[in-house]
Amino acid sequence: MSEQIQIASTSELVPPAPAPLAPAPPVLQPDAGYLGYDRALLRPMSLATKLRALLKYLWVRLKGGPMTVNMEVTYLCNATCDFCDYWKVKRSGKLGDYDYVAALRKLNPLSVTLTGGEPTINKQLPEAVRRIKESLGFVYIGMVTHGSLLTEEKAMALWDAGLDHISISLNYIGREHDEERGIEGLYEHISTLVPRLTARGINVVFNTVIMRENLDHVVPIAHLARTMGAKVSYSCYSDFKNGNETHLVDPAHAERLESVIEDLIYQKSRLGNIVSSSWYLRRVPAYFQDSLPRSCTAAGKWLVQLTPDGDIKPCAELPVQSGYANFKKVSRKIDCNRCWYSCRGETESSLKIGRLLEGLERVWKAGV
């Protein structure tokens, strides 16, 4: 029987009153010193671990997926974003409601991403990370959080348990980020915390969603992340969650978007901390122009969503397909182009030979 996972009380979901916001840190331009920045998104690995990672990848490819499991560890969230309704959910959902280790053993993916809701609401995440690492052989574990409840101590507990990276949402530099998330002082908290985490060797990745209102922040966030010792991964806004079309990049901003994407691809080789593939980024304008093929090759096969109830969805936005015990991979492509999230696009890109070679290079360069 799996143990109960404790959920933080409502009072713990509200961060302490913040001090007045300091000015946003300066955004530095790249220089020659940046060119040698570590491009790996991996812990140091022994040769044996590198070989296990390669064999696991090949085995997952041969069995036909899933490559990635997005594992929701709670429905609760203390942010109030207008593009997501999780914060309106009153039911928590917790890992103790089903045998999550058995579920992941059945799926046996290459990587697991802990998400929610807001995953850090779950008090026993370190134990969950430890159990997953011990049960799946080689597995890469990440976590996506807005960061308001994250502390240096909590991050170290997760890192020591085996978490491979912490992804912190950041769509704006400055107070606009607080306003988007409905959490006063959030940007200051993130900008103070992240340098402390990276100084202790924790892999931190900013998760930045490209949308109409933040086009002027997209490239500066990459520079800012570099000054903090962090990396950045880009995704695309979608109205699939709750029908809010407000933030979609409209035709009037298409030219600006093209310029931003060209700059990001150029900055990849200069900054060394942009982990999004060029293959993914080049398809961002087509997504917002609604010209991507209506054919998702990732959802339900290479990528699946595991809910706090132990159910399987092809992706975060599609209906429940089955319980984990009865999971069967979809046998054909899903007729959908409603999103170009990084979890979809980068999963598809991982099936391309160029991205495979890039991944193998990262693994090989990971220090011993």
The pLDDT tens digits of the residues spanning 222-245 come to 999 999 999 999 999 999 888 999
The pLDDT tens digits of the residues spanning 81-129 come to 999 988 788 776 667 778 999 999 999 999 999 998 999 999 889 999 9
The beta strands (E) that lie in the chain are given as 68-72, 111-115, 140-145, 165-169, 204-210, 231-236, 303-306, 311-313, 322-323
Structural domain spans, the chain: 40-365
Model's pTM, two decimal places?
0.86
Residue 25 has pLDDT above 70, yes or no: no
CATH 3.30.60.50 fits 40-365, yes or no: no
Spatial separation of the C-alpha atoms in residues 249 and 49, rounded to whole Å = 42
Q: Which of 73, 72, 71, 77 is nearest to 89 (CA)?
A: 77
Spatial separation of the C-alpha atoms in residues 100 and 131, rounded to whole Å = 10
Residue for token digits 């009037």? Answer: 252
